[in-house]
């Protein structure tokens, strides 16, 4: 992907989000973002989109077998969680003292 038209996302690693679409949709249960993949427009969220992976026996895993792990979901299926109002919220970006900060549209608080 070229850097010229690289998309900017309002979700970062460590943020609290809710899943708004898909099999794990739950607008009241906030979850933590483990990883963000901006070139693929996907995020890895704790406890969401659990897949079963078949693994062969190896030196680290002598048994092998089935391993359950999280898979990435599209970034459009998640929304940032506003802890103050306890609702999902959109984000706006503004400059404060030369730094770009994210602000919740529901409560007006700065997102850390």
Q: Could you give the C-alpha distances from 22 to 14, 17, 26, 31, in angstroms and in order?
A: 21, 14, 9, 15
pLDDT band of 98, cuts 50, 70, 90: very high
Contact 32, 48 (CB under 8 A): no
* pLDDT (tens digit per residue) in 45-81: 999 999 999 999 999 989 999 999 999 999 999 999 9
DSSP string, 21-81: SSTT-EEEEEEEEEEEETTTTEEEETTSSEEEEEE---SS-SS-EEEEEE--EEGGGEEEE
How far is Cα 29 from Cα 38, in angstroms, rounded to an integer?
24
- pLDDT, residue 107, reads 93
Listed by start position, the domains of the chain span: 16-81
Report percent pLDDT > 90 for the chain.
Answer: 89
Q: Is the pLDDT of residue 35 over 80?
A: yes
Note the pTM of the prediction, 2 decimals: 0.85
pLDDT band (50, 70, 90) for residue 1:
low
């Amino acid at each position: 992907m070229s850097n010229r038209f690289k998309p900017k996302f309002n979700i970062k690693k460590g943020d609290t989000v809710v899943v708004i679409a898909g099999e794990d949709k739950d607008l009241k249960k906030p979850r933590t973002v483990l990883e963000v993949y901006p070139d693929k427009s996907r995020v890895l969220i704790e406890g969401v989109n659990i897949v079963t992976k078949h693994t062969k026996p190896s030196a680290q895993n002598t048994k092998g077998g089935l391993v359950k792990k999280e898979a990435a979901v599209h970034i459009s299926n998640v929304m940032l969680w506003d802890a103050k109002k306890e609702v999902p919220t959109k984000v706006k970006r503004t400059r404060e003292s030369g730094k770009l900060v994210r602000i919740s549209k529901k409560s007006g608080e700065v997102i850390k």
